[in-house]
């Protein structure tokens, strides 16, 4: 099995485009997304109904498209981080990272010794069920597994420089809805407090040469974000993409049919 190096992808110059899975678990999804041209997939366990087995299945499906998978576990706890890695995740997106200590703790969960304390299991899903020398396998995993820190609280913004400076944090990811709520201005993305906080995150990513991620809902928003410095652009949730395509298509169909007079059934 080809081992995906998500850390290397995040460190590449230029645009990295992803797509978020919150709802659809189907065997063809990996090949469908590969054909669409995405570079990685963000698989969510925090706000979706995906449990560990569904996540394992989805990662296997995404392997068919040779796509690296960034999983957001339900929490920053060891048993969630280690398990999503054991079922095959190429990286983890940690929710609500508030300070550098939390980032370091999470990194210790996802790294094997001597860099961390992740438990060792060889020849299971994350290895493609192939036997391999433990020393080589552990070292390779430590080099390729990525960690993205979701900055979505006022405390996280206050500590953004120390989080960004933490070795092993590969990507800072703006959690805009939660951040706006934490700042007391839910959904008000033009509010001065949110604008100031978002700018601090961008500047910290640039200062410490970290990838900068954001989930967008359309190409224009993505282009505007890219121009501001976001280089890891996640395009749409699966639910939103399907809903918007169907809404547009059905509206077009109704409009086209309204312009045509039906033939007589006689």
> What distances in angstroms separate CA 144 from CA 29, 37, 220, 251, 254, one per listed residue?
23, 22, 32, 45, 49
Taking the CA atoms of 166, 126, 44 and 67 in sequence, report the sign of the dihedral they define. Answer: positive
Question: 152 with 15: CB under 8 angstroms?
Answer: no
Closest-CA residue to 98 (of 161, 149, 156): 156
Nearest alpha-carbon partner for 6 in 226, 236, 211: 211
| Residue 47 annotated as catalytic | yes
Structure tokens at 55: 């996540």
Catalytic residue among 47, 79, 117, 248: 47
Q: Which residues of 186-203 are buried (b: 16+ CB within 10 A; e: fewer)?
A: eeeeeeeebeebbebbbe
Q: Is 18 helix (H, G, I), strand (E, B) or coil?
A: strand
Q: Is residue 97 within 8 Å of 106, Cβ to Cβ? A: yes
Tell me which residues are annotated as active site: 47
């Amino acid at each position: 099995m080809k081992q995906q190096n998500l850390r290397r992808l995040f460190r590449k110059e230029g645009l990295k485009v992803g797509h978020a899975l919150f709802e659809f678990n189907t065997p063809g999804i990996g090949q469908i997304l590969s054909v669409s041209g995405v570079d990685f997939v963000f698989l969510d366990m925090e706000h979706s109904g995906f449990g560990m087995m569904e996540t394992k299945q989805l990662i296997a499906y995404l392997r068919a498209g040779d796509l690296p998978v960034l999983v957001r576990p339900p929490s920053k706890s060891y048993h969630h981080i280690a398990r999503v890695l054991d079922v095959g995740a190429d990286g983890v997106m940690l929710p609500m990272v508030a300070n550098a200590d939390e980032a370091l703790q999470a990194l210790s969960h996802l790294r094997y010794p001597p860099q961390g304390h992740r438990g060792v299991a060889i020849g299971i899903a994350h290895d493609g069920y192939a036997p391999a020398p433990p020393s080589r396998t552990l070292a390779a995993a430590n080099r390729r597994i990525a960690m993205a820190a979701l900055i979505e609280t006022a405390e996280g913004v206050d500590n953004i420089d120390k989080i960004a400076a933490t070795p092993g944090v590969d990507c800072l990811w703006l959690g805009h809805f939660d951040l706006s709520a934490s700042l007391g201005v839910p959904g008000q993305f033009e509010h001065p407090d949110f604008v100031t906080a978002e700018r601090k995150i961008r500047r910290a990513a640039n200062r410490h040469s970290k990838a900068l991620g954001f989930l967008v809902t359309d190409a224009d928003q993505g282009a505007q974000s890219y121009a501001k410095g976001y280089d890891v652009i996640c395009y749409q949730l699966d639910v939103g993409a399907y809903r918007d395509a169907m809404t547009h298509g059905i509206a077009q169909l109704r409009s086209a049919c309204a312009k045509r007079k039906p033939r007589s059934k006689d």
